[in-house]
């Protein structure tokens, strides 16, 4: 790493150049390394901002550093708070310079598009240091979500502490998949978004990171788990076929709630004629609310509308 700047004996910040942009700016990775004062232990990586429209994860990492008692943990934290700086700058899911989704191009290429070069740099300069990984995501600008993927043996994902765990395939080219293929057990969380209940989801993310650290022996104590955790295998995205205004009929506070088949989740109306173009309803009996739209949002055909799981085939995790 180059241009490293130490801010304390235990906390270093390194700036890793990736490429020079045509505007003269240097695209770089800013990596925090924090060594615990309680002894040796694992190196846990925490990543946020791989999608620029998910700033809540960035704030969660900032709060983690702000509240961390360095003397109380073992091992090392390797933090990448903003994996895609130009996407964060524009609050977009994709890198604006080439419109590629960073979380679909790993391991990237040194000679590829800019997003592929960025993915390559993350794999080259950060991933090899990690024993374990937490990859923080949220619902983006227009939706709120609450679940965690169940990967590997499930112990780390369960320890993170979400009520809903999804056992299903990840997306090809995602960083989490690439990390696990290279022997780094990974927790991928989906928490918050849409500027709804921000403090609740920051606190939940912080508790999740601390829980994983406890599970790994980096912190003393046992993970703080909810009273009920359920495992879902069938999770679907409900995508509208018409564009317009999406009027949601479910508040984000109802995430994790079960609703009957046919429950109206949202309506798409024309912003021009005001006619109702489409009704989005729950397809399962019962359906478990996993991602919901904010009350009034613009929607295009094929966008994420809602995410629901089949509660009838879900199973409780033993306490």
- CATH number assigned to the domain covering 234-316: 2.40.50.100
pLDDT band at 126 (very low <50, low <70, confident <90, very high): very high
* pLDDT tier for residue 3 given thresholds of 50, 70 and 90: very low
Q: Looking at residue 152, what is its pLDDT?
A: 79
Closest CA to 126 of 80, 182, 65: 80
Model-level pTM?
0.95
List the single range of 152-156, 231-235, 292-296 with lowest mean pLDDT. 152-156
Cα–Cα nearest to 210, from 222, 193, 199, 198: 222
Distance CA 222, CA 100 (A): 40
Instruction: Give per-residue pLDDT as tens, 45-88.
Output: 999 999 999 999 999 999 999 999 999 999 999 999 999 999 99
* pLDDT at residue 151 in the model: 86
What's the pLDDT at 1?
A: 42
Contacts of 123 (CB under 8 A, 6+ apart): 106, 107, 108, 178
| The domains spanning 5-215 and 234-316 adopt the same CATH topology | no
For the chain, what is the mean pLDDT?
A: 95
Q: What is the CATH topology of the domain spanning 5-215?
A: Aminopeptidase (3.40.630)
C-alpha distances (whole Å) from 308 to each of 236, 284, 312 are 6, 8, 12
**What pLDDT sits at residue 318?**
74
The residue ranges of every structural domain in the chain are 5-215, 234-316
């Amino acid at each position: 790493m180059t241009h490293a700047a130490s801010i304390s004996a235990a906390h270093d910040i390194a700036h890793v150049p990736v490429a020079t942009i045509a505007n003269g700016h240097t695209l770089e990775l800013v990596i925090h390394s924090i060594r615990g004062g309680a002894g040796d232990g694992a190196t846990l990586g925490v990543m946020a901002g791989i999608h620029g429209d998910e700033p809540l994860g960035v704030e969660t990492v900032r709060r983690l550093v702000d509240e961390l008692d360095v003397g109380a943990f073992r091992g090392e934290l390797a933090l990448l708070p903003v994996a895609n700086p130009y996407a964060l700058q524009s609050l977009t899911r994709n890198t604006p310079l080439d419109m590629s989704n960073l979380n679909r191009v790993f391991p990237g290429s040194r000679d590829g598009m800019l997003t592929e070069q960025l993915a390559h740099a993350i794999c080259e300069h950060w991933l090899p240091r990690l024993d374990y990984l937490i990859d923080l995501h949220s619902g983006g600008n227009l939706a709120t979500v609450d679940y965690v993927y169940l990967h590997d043996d499930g112990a780390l994902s369960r320890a993170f502490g979400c009520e809903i765990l999804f056992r299903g395939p990840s997306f090809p080219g995602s960083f989490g998949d690439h990390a696990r293929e290279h022997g780094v057990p990974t927790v991928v969380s989906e928490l918050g978004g849409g500027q709804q209940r921000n403090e609740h989801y920051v606190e939940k993310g912080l508790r999740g990171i601390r829980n994983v650290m406890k599970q790994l022996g980096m912190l003393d104590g046992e993970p703080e788990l909810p009273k009920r955790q359920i495992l879902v295998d069938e999770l679907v995205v409900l995508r509208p076929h018409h564009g317009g205004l999406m009027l949601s009929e479910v508040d984000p506070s109802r995430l994790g709630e079960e609703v009957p088949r046919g429950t109206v989740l949202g309506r798409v109306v024309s912003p021009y004629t005001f006619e109702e173009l489409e009704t989005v309803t729950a397809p399962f009996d019962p359906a478990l609310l996993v991602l919901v739209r904010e009350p009034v949002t613009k929607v295009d055909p094929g966008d994420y509308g809602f995410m629901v799981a089949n509660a009838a085939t879900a199973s409780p995790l033993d306490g």
